[in-house]
């Protein structure tokens, strides 16, 4: 049996075990897990169609929807004047042309994020008007030259502008904002939770059934925003390793979703090869938690060693095989830089 076949067999065994265990093994306080109405996982465009165009631009979100994404994911940071803009980090250096603007040269500084010193140009040292003079650039141009070809073409965009655009679409599209580094802003006397809650309240999007889900890597931040809005909330969990049942029980009481690094489900060994799947999806589902997974990309450099096509880090590998492993475990949503490939894999799994 091939390695892929063995991994698929392991995934199938876990799914079968979950069916046998059923609700009887669930904690008393568990919520019933209700899968998305459409068979197969929801496709979340990770920072837009970021495999094709510079991330977190309106053009990347527009392309993502054209390619079939159900959800677009804007990471949110704050400007000096308290506006929410779509950037992966408070630091602008890697994804904008800020270093090409001599009028901003004196803004470069060193600050502490997550306990580590970071040097660069920070969005919270710029007003929105100044931010609008910058243009987006591809973060990994050596891997994605097709996206880097569009450097300098697109403005940075606010979350308010993204919501304006979504409101014009013929079909409903969910936005899934991630509050980036809430503690960083708290230390500066700013509240990204309140800024987001105020905007959603103004737009009438702070309801349980609103097409806005909220995520963060900081659990306390999610608890804080949950006091302000009724939207679905989810915790992002990085790394790999066991998540204890007691922790899952707490999350089930306070969250709707756990959003996992792929390695939490299929760990990798020191050489990048996949190991047997864990049972985290089944245990989370028993507690009524949705499971979202990140991030699915097509290039060899991001794929498990099992599915790489060559030593060329930018070449595409067997991305469909990776999707299949996770889809067979019944995950509820996947984040992908290539939403069209996630949709393609979903269609193949349905066939």
Query: Are 297 and 312 spatial neighbours (Cβ–Cβ below 8 Å)?
Result: no
In a domain, 337, yes or no: yes
Query: Are 46 and 93 spatial neighbours (Cβ–Cβ below 8 Å)?
Result: no
What pLDDT is stored for residue 25 in this prediction? 39
Confidence label for 350 from pLDDT (cuts 50, 70 and 90): confident
What pLDDT is stored for residue 212 in this prediction? 98
- Assess whether pLDDT exceeds 80 at residue 31: no
295, two tokens? 């991030």
Query: Are 227 and 214 spatial neighbours (Cβ–Cβ below 8 Å)?
Result: no
Average confidence (pLDDT) over 87-106: 98
What pLDDT is stored for residue 29 in this prediction? 42
Residue 59 Rama label (left phi>0; alpha psi -120 to 50; beta): alpha
- Assess whether pLDDT exceeds 80 at residue 193: yes
In a domain, 275, yes or no: yes
In a domain, 118, yes or no: no
What pLDDT is stored for residue 349 in this prediction? 85
In a domain, 249, yes or no: yes
Residue 30: how many other CB atoms lie within 10 Å? 18
In a domain, 19, yes or no: yes
Residue span of the structural domain in which 54 resides: 3-90+155-350
- Assess whether pLDDT exceeds 70 at residue 23: no
pLDDT tens per residue across span 240-249: 999 999 999 9
What pLDDT is stored for residue 242 in this prediction? 92
Question: What's the CATH code of the domain at 336?
Answer: 3.20.20.190
User: CA-CA distance, 314 to 65, in Å (whole number)?
Assistant: 24
What pLDDT is stored for residue 213 in this prediction? 98
In a domain, 134, yes or no: no
What pLDDT is stored for residue 169 in this prediction? 97
Confidence label for 8 from pLDDT (cuts 50, 70 and 90): low
Phi, psi of 11 (to 5 degrees): -65, -40
In a domain, 98, yes or no: no
What pLDDT is stored for residue 40 in this prediction? 79
pLDDT tens per residue across span 291-349: 999 999 999 999 999 999 999 999 999 999 999 999 999 999 999 999 999 999 999 88
Q: Find where tokens 């969005």 sit.
A: 123
Tally of domains within the chain: 1
- Assess whether pLDDT exceeds 60 at residue 36: no
Query: Are 278 and 265 spatial neighbours (Cβ–Cβ below 8 Å)?
Result: yes
In a domain, 291, yes or no: yes
């Amino acid at each position: 049996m091939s390695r892929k076949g063995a991994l698929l067999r392991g995934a199938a065994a876990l799914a079968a075990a979950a069916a046998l265990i059923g609700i009887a093994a669930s904690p008393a306080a568990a919520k019933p897990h209700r899968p998305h109405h459409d068979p197969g996982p929801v496709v979340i465009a990770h920072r837009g169609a970021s495999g094709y165009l510079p991330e977190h631009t309106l053009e990347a979100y527009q392309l993502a929807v054209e390619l079939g994404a159900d959800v677009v994911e804007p990471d949110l940071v704050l400007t000096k004047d308290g506006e929410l803009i779509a950037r992966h980090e408070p630091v602008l250096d890697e994804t904008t042309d800020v270093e090409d603007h001599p009028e901003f040269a004196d803004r470069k500084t060193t600050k502490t994020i997550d306990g580590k010193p970071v040097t660069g140009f920070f969005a919270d040292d710029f007003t929105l008007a100044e931010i609008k003079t910058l243009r987006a650039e591809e973060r990994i141009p050596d891997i994605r030259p097709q996206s880097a070809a569009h450097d300098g073409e697109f403005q940075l965009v606010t979350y308010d502008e993204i919501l304006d655009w979504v409101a014009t679409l013929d079909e409903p599209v969910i936005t899934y904002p991630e509050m980036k580094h809430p503690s960083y802003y708290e230390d500066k006397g700013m509240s990204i939770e309140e800024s987001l809650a105020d905007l959603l309240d103004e737009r009438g999007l702070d309801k349980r059934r609103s097409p806005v889900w909220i995520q963060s890597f900081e659990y306390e931040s999610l608890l804080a925003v949950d006091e302000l809005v009724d939207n679905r909330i989810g915790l992002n969990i990085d790394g790999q390793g066991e998540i204890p049942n007691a922790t899952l029980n707490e999350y089930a009481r306070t969250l709707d979703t756990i959003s996992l690094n792929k390695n939490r489900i299929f760990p990798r060994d020191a050489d990048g090869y996949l190991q047997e799947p864990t049972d985290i999806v089944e245990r989370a589902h028993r507690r009524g938690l949705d499971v979202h997974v990140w991030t699915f990309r097509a290039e060899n450099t991001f794929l498990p060693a099992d599915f790489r096509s060559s030593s060329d880090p930018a070449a595409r590998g067997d991305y469909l095989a990776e999707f299949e492993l996770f889809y067979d475990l019944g995950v509820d949503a996947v984040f992908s830089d290539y939403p069209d490939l996630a949709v393609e894999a979903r269609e193949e799994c349905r066939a």
